[in-house]
Chain A
Amino acid sequence: MARFDETIHQPVRLRIIAALNALPEGAQLDFGTLREMLEVTDGNLATHLRKLEEEGYITVEKTFVGRHPRTYIVLTHKGRWAFAEHVQALREILVNDKSKPESG
């Protein structure tokens, strides 16, 4: 059975990882672009990113573009793998539910 991941399953974190996973491997997504897409506050997004970073699922890179500070987020190999496992676990839950015999 694929591993169900409680950290990833939280709705905002699920969307963060899904968004990053949609990009090519190694692509870094701008913090502002992600915040606009998810329609969350800076603080809320930062909290969830910290949690994902602690798990080793993402890395956060702070840099300057010209004079402006920019934060980029990248999905790690571990994060990509954990997300694939989690999605597989979700599918297994559905498949197992459908294969259950009808009661009554």
Chain B
Amino acid sequence: MTEYPILPEEAQEALKIVEQTVRQMRRAVVRGGMPHFLLLWGIVWVLGFGSTHFLGLESPQARTVWLVLTVPGIIVSMLIGWRLSDRVRSVWFGPAVGFFWLTWVIYTSLIVFFAQPQTGIQTSLLISLFAMFGYVTSGILYRSFFLSGFGALITVLIIVGYLFLPDWFNLWMAALGGGSLIAAGLYMRYAWR
């Protein structure tokens, strides 16, 4: 019979330590900047989609609001990524995070430009879905089930809003999409302390 160097109780305790440390480490990394990232884009969504709803889909003012919100949003996102890179240096952290979202904006703009969605609602749908694609894939890269699951949940809300509330879609996105991003950011900030 095989002799083991430790008792089963000790093995159990060691596995518990491993599990706790892994959870602690991932939270430390995610907490290093992710809540600010979610809060920032939650506010962008609330103001952007809110202004699109109230000013009108084709309104130049609504487009200006989006531009004014998105450009600083990307710059701040890059700074958040930079802050994360202070703790952990990796291809998945630091400036790479900012460049990931910058690339996302460029490609989403190109796709919307060439695909030419027929209505403003379809444009909003396309952009929102691409944003959630970014969240889900980021979650996979960060190994954060929370982030991926959150992105998937918002995706479902986007599709529900598009199919069943087309006239209220932008307000739906402002309240539920933006609101959920803010709620998730606050949850990570306070519950994971």
Contacts and interface: CB of A to CB of B under 8 A. Distances in A.
Contacts of B193: none
Given A24-B92, A26-B91, A90-B15, A19 B24 contact: yes
Interface stretch (B81-89, B116-124, B130-138, B180-188): B81-89
A76 interface: no
Contacts of B143: 22, 24
Contacts of B141: 24
Interface in A1-55: 1, 4, 6, 9, 11, 14-15, 18-19, 21-24, 26-30, 33, 37
Contacts of A15: 17, 21
Contact of A9 (B2, B6, B12, B88): B6
Contacts of B87: 29-30, 33
**What does DSSP make chain B's interface, helix, strand, loop or mixed?**
helix
A6 B10 CA distance: 13
Contacts of A26: 90-91
Interface in B3-29: 4-6, 8, 11-12, 14-15, 17-18, 21-22, 24-26, 28-29
Contacts of A14: 14, 17-18, 21
Nearest to A97: B8
A91 B6 CA distance: 12
A93 B24 contact: no
Contact of A18 (B25, B90, B91): B25
Interface residues of A, number: 29
Nearest to A93: B11
A29 B4 contact: no
Given A27-B92, A93-B11, 6 more contacts: A9-B6, A22-B22, A23-B90, A27-B89, A33-B87, A94-B11
Interface of B: 2, 4-6, 8, 11-12, 14-15, 17-18, 21-22, 24-26, 28-29, 86-93, 141, 143
25 contacts: A6-B5, A9-B14, A11-B14, A11-B17, A14-B18, A15-B17, A15-B21, A18-B17, A18-B21, A19-B22, A19-B24, A22-B21, A23-B25, A23-B29, A26-B90, A27-B90, A28-B88, A29-B88, A72-B89, A87-B18, A91-B15, A93-B4, A93-B6, A96-B2, A96-B4
Interface of A: 1, 4, 6, 9, 11, 14-15, 18-19, 21-24, 26-30, 33, 37, 65, 72, 87, 90-91, 93-94, 96-97
